Structure 1
Amino acid sequence: MIKQLKTNHVAPLCAANEDLALCGEVSKDTIDYLGRQIKKIEKQAEERTELRPAYKALLSMPGVGVVLGLTIMLETGPIGRFAKAGNFSSYCRKVPSNWISNGKREGRGNTKNGNKYLAWAFSEVAEFARRYDDASRSWYDRKLARSNRMVAHSALAHKLTRAAYFIMREGVNFDHEKCFA
């Protein structure tokens, strides 16, 4: 989500150079304008969509805004069709698919099975949660200390996918304690 700044912090930084000040002012105005347009689009999308009760609960998750919440809600369909959280995570392509025999990789499995839009959405959710939510960032950093960046990102996305399953199934808000305990 883009936040509109009330105070102009750009002008004092570029006060010595008139051209830079103008460029900064124009850039800020453009960002503010685009932010307003995004809000209009999000509002209209919400109004034209039949929202399920789980949608408002999904918005309580870190990293989930209007567009990602709508994407998750609409692409998931009825959550009852998934028996377990693992089935939902697999459908969202957030579970590794490797065939290993005798310690050797024998294949990749069905890596293209599942919903590519949910895979994208939860990858974005993980990135926004890592950036803007302290508990998510802390969990990500602990995982990053033991592995590489891509593994930590995928693990956070998988964890948030499982949380979304329970949020949609139970109709409850996101709980940091349950997710990152």
Structure 2
Amino acid sequence: MRKLWAGVDVGKEFHWAWVVDAEGTRVLARRVENDESDVLALIAEIIGLGADEISWAVDLTTVESALLLTILFERGQRVCYLPGRAVNQAAAGYRSEGKTDAKDARIIADQARMRRDLAVLRPSDELIVELRMLTGRRTDLVHDRTRAINRLRQLLTAICPALERAADITGHRGWVLLLSRYQRPKALRRAGISRLTTLLTGLGLRERTAARIAEAAVAAAKSQATRLPGEEITAGLVAGLSKEVMRLDGQITDLDTAIEDRFRRHHLAAVITSLPGMGFRLGAEFLAATGDLSAFSSAGHLAAYAGLAPVPNDSGKRTGRLHRPQRYNRALRRVFYMSALTSIRWDPSSRVYYDRKRADGKGAKGAVIALARRRVDVLWALLRDNRTWEPQRLAAATPAA
């Protein structure tokens, strides 16, 4: 049986493809435009080499490789994934110190020929792709909102430090609404509590909440009679950033609606959200990170992918030490970590487990990670059996760690 291995160094505008045979000899090497016609021509050319079996390998699974992977999957080709870190580490074993896309493609093909531990990629269904796009966009917006709020606080300090301390910008949208209209101490004092309360109430806040914010704002304004340099320009920037935060809040809300709508369509949505601490947002991020759950053979496999299965770090007489693996999915680790934090607050059994780990000498973060690892086993069992979480049943079935 003649076998060929095709390695593709993925790029935004073009890819480099390198094909080797069982001895590692180059059979084909050329640049490929990231265009449907050129990709189809490459695949037809490689298939036309007459091999009984062709194995493909890529170093990226991001949007740059979407067209290539989709076409390969449609034609029933087997595709493996070799991370970029592994390509860089293997490069030292090949001739020439320089780095080129062609050399990377050669390394990918040769490593795919020699290694048997590469993950096999599977096509993602439409729903998973949509969730990845939506959750990724939501993450970008949240980061933009955080940057805007940090800058807003900095500028507000340049006008009135007392007002910046009093303003709970991240905790309540009422402060952002207020700062979009009033920023300077003199203007807040002149408006007074009554007018500010009426304004905030008209913008949708409850009267009690509006009054509390107005009172805090006016009290902070009264504590400073000094006008700081550049106050007028800074106030305009504060107003603009406040409106930007409100705009981002609206976009995030719209995205949450779209994410929940698509997440609820997934056949495992009820199973995932039945686990305490897993709402639709974390559930959507879980599906976006894992994709085809059949790719994971066990709970330990899933935990390793999430970076929750420590690996040995022994050397000489130093044995028994463990550390976090370097290769893992950080988005999936975040899902389990955040859900564990939430479950400590709302789920009694999770709280008991967390307290037991703290009593055993673990720090707060270590205890949360231990709980997250335990929850991987629980969620895996639920997904495997396609059943929802039942506290008493799982408490009896899950051994203490």
CA distance in 2: counterparts of 1:166 and 1:52, whole angstroms = 18
CA distance in 2: counterparts of 1:99 and 1:166, whole angstroms = 29
Displacement of 1:150 in angstroms is 2.3
Decide whether aligned partners of structure 1 residues 108 and 47 sit closer, same or farther in structure 2, where only a CA change above 3 A counts.
Answer: same
TM-score (norm 2): 0.36
Decide whether aligned partners of structure 1 residues 135 and 8 sit closer, same or farther in structure 2, where only a CA change above 3 A counts.
Answer: farther
Contact residue 307 and residue 327 of structure 2 kept, 8 A: yes
**Please, which of 367, 374, 389 is the counterpart of residue 159 of structure 1?**
374
SS of match in other structure, 1:100? coil
**Please, which of 40, 48, 56 is the counterpart of residue 270 of structure 2?**
56
What residue number does 1:93 align with? 307
Decide whether aligned partners of structure 1 residues 7 and 121 sit closer, same or farther in structure 2, where only a CA change above 3 A counts.
Answer: farther
Between 122-131 and 40-49, the greater mean CA deviation after superposition: 40-49
Aligned 1:1-181 pairs, distance under 5 A: 8=208, 19=218, 39-48=253-262, 51-100=265-314, 104-105=318-319, 111-147=325-361, 148-181=363-396
Contact residue 54 and residue 167 of structure 1 kept, 8 A: no
CA distance in 2: counterparts of 1:90 and 1:82, whole angstroms = 10
CA distance in 2: counterparts of 1:146 and 1:88, whole angstroms = 26
Displacement of 1:132 in angstroms is 2.2
Displacement of 1:98 in angstroms is 2.1
SS of match in other structure, 2:274? coil
Q: Which has the higher strand share?
A: 2
Displacement of 1:110 in angstroms is 7.3
Decide whether aligned partners of structure 1 residues 140 and 73 sit closer, same or farther in structure 2, where only a CA change above 3 A counts.
Answer: same
**In the alignment, residue 157 of structure 1 is paired with which amino acid?**
A
**In the alignment, residue 90 of structure 1 is paired with which amino acid?**
A
Deviations 1:116-161 (A, max 9, x none): 1101111111111112222211211111111222221111000111
What residue number does 1:24 align with? none
CA distance in 2: counterparts of 1:66 and 1:110, whole angstroms = 28
Please, which runs of 5 or more residues in structure 2 have no aligned partner? 1-170, 172-205, 220-247, 397-401
CA distance in 1: counterparts of 2:348 and 2:250, whole angstroms = 27
**In the alignment, residue 380 of structure 2 is paired with which amino acid?**
Y
TM-score (norm 1): 0.72
CA distance in 2: counterparts of 1:109 and 1:124, whole angstroms = 20
Decide whether aligned partners of structure 1 residues 107 and 138 sit closer, same or farther in structure 2, where only a CA change above 3 A counts.
Answer: closer
Higher relative contact order (CA 8 A, sep 6+): 1
**In the alignment, residue 170 of structure 1 is paired with which amino acid?**
D
CA distance in 2: counterparts of 1:144 and 1:150, whole angstroms = 10
Larger of the two Rg values belongs to structure: 2
Contact residue 136 and residue 180 of structure 1 kept, 8 A: no
Displacement of 1:53 in angstroms is 1.3
CA distance in 2: counterparts of 1:18 and 1:109, whole angstroms = 49
Please, which runs of 5 or more residues in structure 1 have no aligned partner? 21-33
CA distance in 2: counterparts of 1:127 and 1:134, whole angstroms = 12
Q: Which has the higher helix share?
A: 1
**In the alignment, residue 290 of structure 2 is paired with which amino acid?**
T
**In the alignment, residue 137 of structure 1 is paired with which amino acid?**
R
**In the alignment, residue 312 of structure 2 is paired with which amino acid?**
N
Displacement of 1:170 in angstroms is 1.8
Contact residue 277 and residue 339 of structure 2 kept, 8 A: yes
CA distance in 1: counterparts of 2:207 and 2:301, whole angstroms = 48
Displacement of 1:178 in angstroms is 4.7
Decide whether aligned partners of structure 1 residues 166 and 146 sit closer, same or farther in structure 2, where only a CA change above 3 A counts.
Answer: same
CA distance in 2: counterparts of 1:7 and 1:155, whole angstroms = 44
CA distance in 2: counterparts of 1:7 and 1:151, whole angstroms = 43
Decide whether aligned partners of structure 1 residues 53 and 7 sit closer, same or farther in structure 2, where only a CA change above 3 A counts.
Answer: farther
CA distance in 1: counterparts of 2:284 and 2:297, whole angstroms = 22
